């Protein structure tokens, strides 16, 4: 019998002779790798029945199909959506046999199954109250194994010591570069991996490549072939023994690519600590790459799903994200030139680029790790999963974990058909006070702190508290569901499961925020972040058709209460003489005019006196200047669209949608420049002059061709296209010229002059001598800035007037 303290980091299970074995991979406090095996946990689910519970339990007990059988049945008093129920707990021998057990169970009539869609490993963590990454003590027997771990223990007892996470995890980030003669569309069947860069803890640096050249860079290491490169890749990871192997979009690109190239040489990517090969799972076109026991984290997923909401950028490539989060950029090098440089053997710069990407990824990861760790501790699922979850999944798994503490049975995931009907149901959303479009000075933004969650708590909103009893309940304002006016009632006799949980999240966060005011503690900051993330996503979750705890009634009531509160607040502000220019959901924007900042403080106090429970209105920020744009009324759910500059000169742009990569550089530059001129200098005329000068340049053909290139990717082979867009037409021309194009190729084109359809005027950049000035003015530049200028009081036509007509003089 041995005792070990360790941090469980990853979990999976295997079935050996129909006995499931949970495997916790982790690290001991003295840095040894360990695999702890628990063979005592069994899969189970719940069965509900209206009547004859005992009889049904007996029938279930007899179930056996192939080598799978029910081990035990037991009747428990449980709750389902806050209602007391009696339910049969059905325990069976092997999770692999679930389908076979289900087949037999389905023969019994008038029953329903619950918690059938909770994976075995996740259930283990929840039931055993095991929080990954925190310190546990296990007692058990050492067992023999051929795993890549220091020891393997069969668990007898396991208990938590504390909730500290592993102090200095070993991190290794990596990035590959691929031979790219056709640009972005690299083909795994033929295009070799030319280099792999690593950056890790203790300033570990390495770039491996198989083209030799003279260099004094010590981190560059040469091998003889791509085959050796891949072998070296495996070798480095095995020797480094990282706790976290991290990358940027490595789920979707690097690892699947390495796998494909490895299969050419028939090398197994046996990186798993149990010597298993890397596994890929695909959901639609979203890939996940998992290595048993070795935690691979694709930081892009976390950024795209969770961090994105708090970022200014709408583009989530490594460069944009590191610029915003780290204030650092990728190395400025034309990656399209890699193939040529490789052929010449002149690739040192690309090695630097490659390493730098790994460095950036490493830094991004270390920045975000505290947030990930706190989410793991809050939700209780492995960091591998947390890193890839969407908002909805974070909320859901937090609820599932808490449900067990409340003796609540978790509702089933909706079936596809349920989702389809839910999608059709509608309710009214947030109140939007359409901004009076314009450029304003001295703007103040106020907002309700966690408005929706605080309403859920204040009004006890939840599927389980929803009632017909109008007496002992909170009454929603008049609201509209499926086009029909009505009210909903939520009992206040007993606090509901979700309101309790949100109250807990909010009060915990408020306490932490108080502490943070006194002391800047990064750990507390991350904790506050985790609490906020889950709390703020809860309303959206209730209205999300795929949610287990979906409740349209709740979602509709929450927005109705919110509309009422915000409208009252606006009214009050106006009564006190403030000029409200804009309001959306939980915020109010005021122009100070002759009022002072102190008047705002007094107003906040007045409002907060009257608010129930945890609800609170607070100051968001002061802004010296701001521009507000209204979306066209035809667009549903008017969205935020404004830009502000704060007292420190930071520009905050909200809602100017992603200018996608299929826009020209020209359009992107013009929009950015115009916003800058307006906010920093407040000079409409100058902005107008700028755009006119650009339009003039376009008409005089002064714009360099590279700024006009539009890029679109071919998603399937050319023959498959029914609708021939401009890029398809260009691809056909490329084929005629024996150029290599196919699914995945990026087609670059410029729209040339002429009277034909746009697609017939799309030309290859190198063949295009003269571009269609009107197209670029009307389809690129004008759409990028027209709304901004409308706001400033100019019509689209005025942008198009020539300099002479508008008498603006020279620019």
Q: Of residues 329-358, which lie at the interface with DNA (CB under 7 A)?
A: 335-336, 338, 357
Task: Classify residue 531 by burial, with Cβ atoms within 10 Å: 0-12, 13-18, 19+.
Answer: buried
Q: Of residues 378-397, which lie at the interface with DNA (CB under 7 A)?
A: none
Q: Of residues 760-779, which lie at the interface with DNA (CB under 7 A)?
A: 779
Q: Exposure string (b/e) for 601-620, b if CB count within 10 Å is 16 or more?
A: eebeeebeeeeeebbbbeeb
Question: Nearest distance from residue 39's CB to DNA, in Å?
Answer: 15
Question: Nearest distance from residue 420's CB to DNA, in Å?
Answer: 9
Q: Of residues 286-305, which lie at the interface with DNA (CB under 7 A)?
A: 300, 304
Question: Nearest distance from residue 397's CB to DNA, in Å?
Answer: 10
Q: Tell which one of 162, 634, 648, 805 touches DNA (CB under 7 A).
A: 634
Query: CB-wise, 233 or 565, nearer to DNA?
Result: 233
Is 722 an interacting residue with respect to DNA (CB under 7 A)? yes
Query: CB-wise, 222 or 316, nearer to DNA?
Result: 316
Query: CB-wise, 203 or 635, nearer to DNA?
Result: 635
Q: Tell which one of 5, 16, 71, 662 touches DNA (CB under 7 A).
A: 662
User: Number of H helices and number of E strands within the chain?
Assistant: 26, 33
Between CA 254 and CA 256 the distance in angstroms is 6
H or E stretch covering 159? strand 151-165
Query: CB-wise, 779 or 806, nearer to DNA?
Result: 779
Between CA 207 and CA 266 the distance in angstroms is 23
Question: Nearest distance from residue 693's CB to DNA, in Å?
Answer: 25
Question: Nearest distance from residue 99's CB to DNA, in Å?
Answer: 5
119-127, 238-246, 560-568, 794-802 -> range binding DNA (CB under 7 A): 119-127
Q: Of residues 123-162, which lie at the interface with DNA (CB under 7 A)?
A: 123
Q: Of residues 235-274, which lie at the interface with DNA (CB under 7 A)?
A: 248-249, 252-254
Query: CB-wise, 123 or 563, nearer to DNA?
Result: 123
CA dihedral of 675, 678, 680, 686, whole degrees rounded to 10: 120
Q: Tell which one of 429, 438, 477, 546 touches DNA (CB under 7 A).
A: 546
Between CA 10 and CA 506 the distance in angstroms is 29
112-120, 215-223, 463-471, 790-798 -> range binding DNA (CB under 7 A): 112-120
Q: Exposure string (b/e) for 192-218, b if CB count within 10 Å is 16 or more?
A: bbbbbbbbbbeebebbbbbbeeeeeee
Query: CB-wise, 572 or 665, nearer to DNA?
Result: 665
CB 35 within 8 Å of CB 114 = no
Between CA 451 and CA 194 the distance in angstroms is 52
Query: CB-wise, 433 or 721, nearer to DNA?
Result: 721
H or E stretch covering 198? strand 193-200
Is 632 an interacting residue with respect to DNA (CB under 7 A)? no
Question: Nearest distance from residue 681's CB to DNA, in Å?
Answer: 28
Q: Of residues 574-603, which lie at the interface with DNA (CB under 7 A)?
A: none
Q: Of residues 679-718, which lie at the interface with DNA (CB under 7 A)?
A: 712-716
Between CA 681 and CA 686 the distance in angstroms is 9
79-87, 96-104, 693-701, 798-806 -> range binding DNA (CB under 7 A): 96-104
Nearest to 220 by CA among 347, 363, 357: 347
Q: Tell which one of 39, 201, 536, 661 touches DNA (CB under 7 A).
A: 661
Between CA 383 and CA 299 the distance in angstroms is 11
Is 184 an interacting residue with respect to DNA (CB under 7 A)? yes
Distances (CA, A) of 106 to 42, 58, 113, 445, 715: 21, 15, 9, 57, 42
Is 219 an interacting residue with respect to DNA (CB under 7 A)? no
Q: Of residues 54-83, which lie at the interface with DNA (CB under 7 A)?
A: none
Is 650 an interacting residue with respect to DNA (CB under 7 A)? no
Site track for DNA across 13-52, x = CB under 7 A = ------------------------------xxx-------
Nearest to 529 by CA among 314, 310, 383, 366: 310
Question: Nearest distance from residue 242's CB to DNA, in Å?
Answer: 19
Question: Nearest distance from residue 791's CB to DNA, in Å?
Answer: 18
Q: Whole-angstrom distance between the N-terminal and C-terminal Cα of the chain?
A: 84
H or E stretch covering 716? none
Region label for 350, one of left (φ > 0), alpha (ψ between -120 and 50) or beta (otherwise)? alpha
Q: Of residues 405-424, which lie at the interface with DNA (CB under 7 A)?
A: 413, 416, 419
Is 665 an interacting residue with respect to DNA (CB under 7 A)? no
Question: Nearest distance from residue 350's CB to DNA, in Å?
Answer: 8
Query: CB-wise, 263 or 336, nearer to DNA?
Result: 336
Is 99 an interacting residue with respect to DNA (CB under 7 A)? yes
CB 16 within 8 Å of CB 38 = no
Nearest to 718 by CA among 708, 732, 704: 732
Between CA 169 and CA 244 the distance in angstroms is 7
Q: How many Cβ atoms sit within 10 Å of the Cβ of residue 47?
A: 22
Query: CB-wise, 82 or 385, nearer to DNA?
Result: 385
Site track for DNA across 185-204, x = CB under 7 A = -x------------------
DSSP character at residue 166: P
């Amino acid at each position: 019998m041995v005792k070990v303290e360790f941090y469980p980091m990853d979990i999976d299970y295997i079935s050996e002779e129909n006995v499931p074995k949970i495997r916790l991979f982790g690290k001991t406090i003295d840095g040894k790798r360990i695999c702890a095996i628990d063979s005592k946990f069994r899969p189970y689910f719940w069965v509900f029945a209206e009547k004859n519970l005992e009889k049904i339990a007996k029938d279930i007990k007899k179930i056996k199909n192939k080598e799978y059988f029910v081990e035990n049945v037991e009747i428990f008093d449980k709750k389902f959506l806050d209602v007391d129920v009696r339910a049969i707990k059905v325990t069976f021998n092997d999770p692999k046999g679930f389908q076979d057990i289900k087949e037999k169970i389905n023969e019994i009539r008038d029953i329903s199954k619950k918690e059938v869609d909770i994976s075995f490993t996740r259930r283990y963590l929840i039931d055993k109250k095991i929080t990954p990454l925190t310190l546990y003590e296990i007692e058990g027997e050492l067992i023999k194994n051929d795993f890549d771990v220091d020891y393997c223990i069969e668990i007898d007892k396991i208990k938590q010591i504390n909730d500290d996470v592993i102090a200095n995890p070993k991190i290794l980030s990596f990035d590959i570069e691929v031979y790219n003669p056709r640009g972005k569309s690299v083909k795994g069947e033929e295009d070799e991996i030319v280099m792999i860069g690593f950056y890790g803890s203790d300033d570990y640096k390495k770039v491996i490549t198989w083209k030799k050249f003279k260099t004094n860079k010590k981190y560059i290491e040469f091998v003889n072939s791509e085959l050796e490169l891949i072998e070296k890749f495996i070798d480095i990871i095995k020797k480094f023994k990282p706790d976290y192997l991290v990358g940027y979009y490595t789920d979707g690109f690097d690892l699947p690519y390495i796998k494909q190239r490895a299969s050419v040489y028939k090398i197994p990517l046996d990186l798993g600590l149990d010597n298993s090969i890397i596994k890929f799972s695909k959901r639609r076109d979203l890939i996940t790459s998992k290595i048993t026991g070795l935690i691979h984290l694709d930081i892009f997923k976390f950024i795209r799903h969770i961090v994105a909401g708090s970022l200014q950028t709408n583009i989530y490539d490594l460069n944009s994200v590191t610029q915003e989060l780290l204030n650092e950029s990728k190395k400025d090098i034309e990656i399209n030139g890699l193939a040529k440089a490789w052929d010449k053997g002149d690739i040192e710069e690309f090695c630097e680029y490659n390493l730098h990407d790994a460095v950036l990824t490493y830094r991004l990861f270390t920045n975000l790790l505290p947030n990930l760790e706190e989410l793991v501790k809050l939700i209780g699922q492995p960091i591998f999963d947390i890193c890839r979850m969407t908002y909805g999944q974070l909320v859901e798994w937090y609820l599932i974990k808490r449900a067990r503490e409340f003796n609540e049975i978790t509702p089933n995931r909706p079936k596809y058909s349920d989702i389809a009907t839910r999608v059709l149901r509608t309710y009214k959303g947030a109140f939007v006070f359409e901004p009076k479009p314009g450029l304003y000075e001295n703007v103040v933004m106020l907002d309700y702190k966690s408005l929706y969650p605080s309403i859920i708590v204040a009004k006890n909103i939840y599927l389980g508290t929803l009632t017909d009893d109008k007496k002992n309940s909170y009454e929603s304002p008049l609201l509209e569901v499926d086009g029909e006016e009505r009210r909903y009632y939520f009992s206040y006799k007993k606090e509901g499961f979700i309101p309790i949980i949100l109250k807990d999240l909010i009060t915990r966060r408020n306490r932490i925020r108080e502490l943070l005011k006194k002391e800047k503690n990064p750990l507390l900051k991350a904790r506050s972040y985790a609490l906020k993330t889950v709390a703020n996503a809860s309303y959206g979750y209730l209205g999300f058709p795929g949610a287990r705890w979906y409740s349209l009634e709740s979602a509709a009531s929450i927005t109705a209460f919110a509309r009422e509160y915000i409208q009252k607040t606006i009214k009050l502000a106006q009564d006190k003489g403030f000029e409200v220019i804009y309001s959306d959901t939980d915020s109010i924007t005021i122009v100070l005019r002759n009022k002072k900042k102190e008047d705002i403080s007094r107003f906040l106090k007045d409002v907060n006196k009257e608010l129930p429970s945890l609800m609170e209105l607070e100051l968001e920020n002061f802004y010296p200047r701001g521009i507000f744009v209204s979306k066209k009324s035809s667009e549903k759910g008017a969205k935020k669209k404004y830009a502000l500059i704060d007292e420190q000169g930071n520009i905050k742009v909200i809602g100017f949608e992603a200018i996608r990569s299929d826009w020209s550089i020209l359009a992107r530059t013009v929009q950015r420049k115009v916003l800058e001129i307006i906010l920093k200098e407040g000079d409409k005329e100058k902005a107008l002059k700028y755009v006119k000068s650009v339009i003039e340049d376009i008409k005089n053909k002064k714009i360099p061709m590279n700024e006009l290139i539009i890029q679109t990717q071919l998603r399937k082979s050319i023959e498959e296209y029914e609708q021939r867009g401009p890029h398809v037409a260009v691809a056909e021309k490329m084929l005629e010229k024996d150029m290599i194009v196919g699914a995945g190729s990026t087609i670059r084109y410029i729209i040339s002059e002429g009277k034909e359809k746009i697609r017939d005027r799309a030309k290859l950049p190198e063949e295009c001598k003269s571009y269609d000035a009107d197209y670029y003015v009307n389809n690129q530049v004008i759409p990028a800035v027209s709304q901004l200028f409308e706001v400033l009081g100019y019509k689209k036509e005025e942008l198009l007037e020539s300099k002479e007509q508008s008498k603006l003089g020279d620019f």
